[in-house]
Amino acid sequence: MRIVIIALGSRGDVQPYVALGRGLHAAGHEVRLMTHDAFETIVTAHGLQFWIARGNVQAVAESEEMRALLEKGNFLAISAKTAQAAQKASLEWAEDGLAACAGADLLIAGIGGLFIGLSLAEKLRLPLLQAYVAPFSPTRDFAGVLLPRPVPTWLNRLSHHAVRQIMWQGARKADNLVRQQVLGVPKARFFGPYASAQTRGLPILYGFSPAIVAPPADWPREARVTGYWFLAAETNWSPPPALVDFLAAGPPPVYVGFGSMTNRKPEETAALVTAALAQTGQRAVLMSGWGGLQAAELPDSIFMLEAAPHDWLFARMAAVVHHGGAGTTAAGLRAGVPSIIVPFFADQPFWGNRIAHLGVGPQPVPRQQLTVGRLAAAIETAVTNPQMRQRAADLGQQLQQEDGLARAVAIVQQVVAQL
């Protein structure tokens, strides 16, 4: 069976789909993953066919305008900017997608590739499996995870529909252009293609653990929470000798990194972080990431690191401080150490609140409210609270025993058998 996975966004958005593709490839399927050229190496390294989706997502994230929007955490403004960037790239993505899907039997897409995936599926009359790493189906149990502000609980279910419309109305113009100029198919309904015939009756895969988000009772029967889709450890990666020496030179440090979240003034962020660490007396591994986080002079107690696999690094930390992206959150939970979430926008506040609700980390500190004192207090709690540390260790052990990838592959296999 020839399967095409469309995964657009940052590395954290793409990596779970690489894992899913690897699992499907191991099950005997021919898997092609359409994504940005920055991820070609990771795609091909895991035995998948790479197909480019033109456009530089990192350049958009690192633009001055986007840096300012991310710091403010304004979901509506960020969505509008993202939609504007996507509109410029959408015609190219449609052309790339048509070529990628040549001879395909099944499409798989998450939030990042949903609308282009649905348009391609309708053009090619292919089934499309929705596969998400954050809750997307409406429920009364909690509000829409991309919602910028809390709502009364009685509005929970409606808020999911509001989020869907914010996403769709921002993408609608680009989707119409794609359908008219490239694909030659009718426009989608004004309220979006969410009820497309190409997805009707098919499972909706959710790549997170039921121990973290239990499936709501009012979700459709098609929604399947499989467990996380972790990528196998990189066998050809070795830690830098300087990092090994640093880890051996003292107690486990605290990890601090904000992934693809950019900062207009990375030096100020580094100064805030180093001041908080000094206040708590903690050693740390500071990840530079896309944010360009850097400090001209760091104390010996802080090690600056360009990159390292989370599965290797996090297990050696006393706690992890990060932005709360779905992938990084999953890695921190599986490592069995407390997590401190500094959310910027999108689903990050949702994961930060889940961490606090489960008792495996302190309350999240939104990026706009981050201060030396608040970060220091959160770090102090995470490294000294024995109950929190034990809960984190127990949950990590539980996640290490789950095999969400196998469950997801088994569900796809059932779909394939019926095609």
Which of the following CATH numbers is that of domain 2-228+402-418: 3.40.50.2000, 1.10.3720.10, 1.10.1240.10, 1.10.10.200? 3.40.50.2000
Beta-carbon contacts of 159 under 8 Å, excluding residues fewer than 6 positions away, are 143, 144, 147, 151
Question: pLDDT class for 234, splitting at 50, 70, 90?
Answer: confident
Question: pLDDT class for 150, splitting at 50, 70, 90?
Answer: confident
Give the separation between CA 367 and CA 364, rounded to whole angstroms: 9
Task: Output the six-digit token pair for 324.
Answer: 């709360």
Size (the chain), residues: 419
- Higher per-residue pLDDT: 80 or 122: 122
Question: pLDDT class for 197, splitting at 50, 70, 90?
Answer: very high
Same topology, domains 2-228+402-418 and 241-401? Answer is yes
Determine the topology of domain 241-401 in CATH. Rossmann fold (3.40.50)
Residue 182: phi, psi to the nearest 5?
-115, -45
Q: What angle do CA 280, 389, 214 make, to 5 degrees?
A: 125
Beta-carbon contacts of 18 under 8 Å, excluding residues fewer than 6 positions away, are 7, 33, 39, 42, 43, 46, 48, 231
Question: pLDDT class for 67, splitting at 50, 70, 90?
Answer: low
Residue 232 scores a pLDDT above 80 = yes
First to last CA, the chain: 10
Q: In what order do the strands lie in the sheet with 284-287?
A: 302-305, 284-287, 254-256, 319-322, 339-341
Task: Output the six-digit token pair for 154.
Answer: 């009685």
Residue 391 scores a pLDDT above 90 = yes
Q: At what angle do helices 64-72 and 75-100 cross, to 10 degrees?
A: 120
Give the separation between CA 255 and CA 310, rounded to whole angstroms: 10
Residue 307 confidence (pLDDT): 83
Which SS3 state, helix, strand or coil, does residue 193 take?
Answer: coil
AA letter at 289: G
Residue 121: phi, psi to the nearest 5?
-65, -40
Q: 357-382, pLDDT tens digit by residue?
A: 999 999 999 988 999 999 999 999 99
User: What are the domain boundaries of the chain?
Assistant: 2-228+402-418, 241-401
Residue 54 confidence (pLDDT): 86
